[in-house]
């Protein structure tokens, strides 16, 4: 789903939050990577945006062309040890997004993204998580 074009006059409001599983390690660090990745994506896009960390959609969204609500569920490295490949890993990003028309409040799209990067004999840490978040957003919205 294309969020905007260079000709759009109204900005896009981006609301994001994280909802981690109860045993999530280092949630504050992961939120920082998610924030960086979201910023990178919208800086690179043709959208004029306002980005807020918020779980709820505000009542007055009429000044925005679209509203994008993102809930990050997973952002991190994955490592599997076993058969048939001794080591398989990489990173994964899971988020849910909802796109609304800012003028009418009508839902334009509801999406769930599960993006992965890696494979056999790949071991990755947290250094690429911001870029992974950007790549997952790109795969979803372009």
Q: From the first residue on, what is the mean pLDDT of each consecutive set of 10 residues in the chain (142 residues)? A: 81 96 94 97 91 93 95 94 87 97 94 95 91 97 90
pLDDT at position 67 is 97
Q: Where are the domains of the chain?
A: 12-141
Give the β-pairing of 87-101 and 107-120: antiparallel
pTM for the whole thing? 0.91
Tell me what pLDDT residue 51 has.
96
Q: Residue 46: its pLDDT value, please?
A: 81
CATH number listed for the domain at residues 12-141: 3.40.50
Query: In the predicted model, what is the mean pLDDT of the chain?
Result: 93
Nearest to 2, CA basis, from 66, 83, 88, 69 = 66
């Amino acid at each position: 789903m294309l969020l905007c074009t260079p000709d759009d006059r109204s900005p896009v409001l981006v609301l994001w939050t994280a909802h981690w599983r109860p045993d999530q390690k280092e949630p504050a660090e992961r939120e920082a990577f998610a924030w960086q990745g979201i910023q990178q994506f919208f800086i690179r896009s043709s959208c004029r945006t306002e980005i807020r960390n918020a779980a709820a959609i505000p009542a007055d969204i009429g000044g925005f062309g679209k509203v994008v609500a993102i809930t990050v569920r997973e952002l991190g490295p994955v490592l599997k040890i076993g058969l048939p490949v001794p080591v398989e890993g990489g990173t994964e990003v899971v988020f849910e997004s909802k796109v609304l028309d800012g003028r009418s409040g009508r839902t334009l799209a509801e999406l769930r993204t599960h993006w992965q990067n890696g494979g056999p004999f790949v071991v990755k840490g947290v250094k690429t998580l911001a870029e992974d978040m950007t790549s997952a957003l790109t795969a979803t919205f372009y």
